[in-house]
Each structure stands twice: as structure tokens, then as C-alpha cells.
Amino acid sequence: MSATGFADRLDAVFADRGHLCVGIDPHRWLLADWGLADDPAGLRDFGLRVVEAAAGRAGIVKPQVAFFERHGSAGYAALEEVLAAARSACLLVIADVKRGDLGTSVEAYGEAWLTPGSPLEADAMTLSAYQGVGSVTAPLALALKHGKGVFVLAATSNPEGAAVQTAVIASGAHSGRSVAAGIVSDVTEWNSSSGAAAGVVLGATVDFALYGIDLPLLAQERVPILAPGFGHQGARFGDAATLYGPAAETTILSASRSILSAGPSGLAAAIDAHNAEARG
């Protein structure tokens, strides 16, 4: 698969089915509301129902791995079925794993989620680069090799993240810039030097000017953006163009609870309504 495979597939999804990403987040309370048990069988049924509703309506799904992981190996077995079903349904799958480490450890995380044929194979994964973007070079390189994607956390939608992410870097190449801006810059530079299509996570509830994030540059470089914060967290899909400016063209609009709370019988209608709002 070519190095530009992920960018090409993402562009195709945007053109064909829009920018909506449907979260697969089997919270305990949601499982109860859906009449499902909080066990691996319930997780499997939940995930497969979301995949079925999303297929043909949305182009991207994002399983939150933590909800499966809490059930151990049986939870992972359920997740493997959901991942396989989603990819068979021609949905682009972003594994929301938020992994981060050093050297061979983070490389092994990348191999788990980005290797073709892996039981946990996804089209992209989320990464945490608290030790610096250089620490996650191995999964970035794996994504490039296999035509996969990565999204590095930069400016997240949770308010607790602001204190760290707006902190000013004291030394080095990004001295005087915010931590978030430094991460965005490093990812953009990686893409420019390698020909990859790595992306960043930029929450829709974030004041990008406060963080010093250059949205026009992201648009120019066509850096993919994963944007949580829509729906339940307060951001409106219809405001995406205003929030992300020219970078909206490469932004994935993620929603979970605002769709999933509609229940299994209301999923399709909720996805259609969110898509309609996102398209204006």
C-alpha cells in the first residue's frame, strides 16, 4: 500500500460520505439503556449495531478501546470482531488508543494497531507524545510504511488539558511557543520530510488563537485533524467551518454520546441528522 494511502482514503471518504466520525463508546450506562449486559457479548453487540447503522451513512468510526479493555482478553476479542466488521463495511477505522511510550515499546503499540493482518488492525490510531513527538517516530514510520494514519494529541477538548497544552516551551526549536503548537509543528514537519499524512487531535472547544495554532498552515499542508468536542461536549457541527477555517476541509468531526444515546433503533436517524448539520 502506498505511503499516501491513508490521505487518499480519507479524502475519498470526505467526498463520498462527509466528515462525520461515529464513536463506538460502550459506556456502562449506554449498555444498560440499550438493554445489553456489561460483558463482552454486550460490547460485541453494541459495536456491531453501531457499525451496521454507520455503514453507508458515515465513512469513519472510532472505537474507544478503553471500554473494551476493561473486560480483559474477552473484551479484546469482542473488539477484534467489531474492527473486522467495520473494515469489511468499508468504514475507515480510527482506534482511539492514545498510546505513548519510547523506543521498542511504542513501536510494539504501533505494530498492534497498524500492521496489516493484525487482529487489531485499524486504519489509524491515536498517539500521545508527552515525551516529545520524536518519541513516537516508530509508529509514525509504521503508518508511513503501511499506508496507515496516526493522530497525535495536541490541543484536546477536555478543559484540564489547557494548562499543560498552553504552557510555553522554554528551549529548543519551539522556544516561546505553546506545547500544543510545538506538537502541531513537529507533525507538520514530519509530513513534509517523509511524505506521510500524520494528523493531530484538535478539540472543537479549544481557542486555537490562545494555543498559537496556525490553522491556515495546517490547511496548506493538508494535515488531517481529528476533532472531538462536537455534540455532547457542546460544539455545533454547523460551526465547523468557522471553528477550523480553511483547515475544515481536512477535519474529521467526531461525535459519540449525542449519537449513541439515541439507542439502537435511533442510530441511523441520529447519524443522518448529524451528517446533515455537518454539511450545512
Euclidean distance between CA atoms 92 and 246, whole angstroms: 23
- Going 219 to 225 to 230 to 235, the CA torsion angle's sign is negative
225-227 and 124-127 strand pairing: unpaired
How crowded is the C-beta side of 233, counted as CA atoms within 13 Å? Answer: 18
Strand partners of residue 234:
none
Q: Are 23 and 260 in contact (CB under 8 A)?
A: yes
b/e burial code for range 14-46 (CB count within 10 A of at least 16 → b): beebbbbbbbbbbbeebbeebebebebebbbbb
267-279 vs 40-54: helix crossing angle, rounded to 10: 50
Q: Catalytic: which of 62, 98, 145, 148?
A: 98
**Cell 488539558 sits on residue:** 161
Q: What number of H helices and E strands is found in the chain?
A: 14, 8
98 among known catalytic residues: yes
The catalytic site residues sit at 98
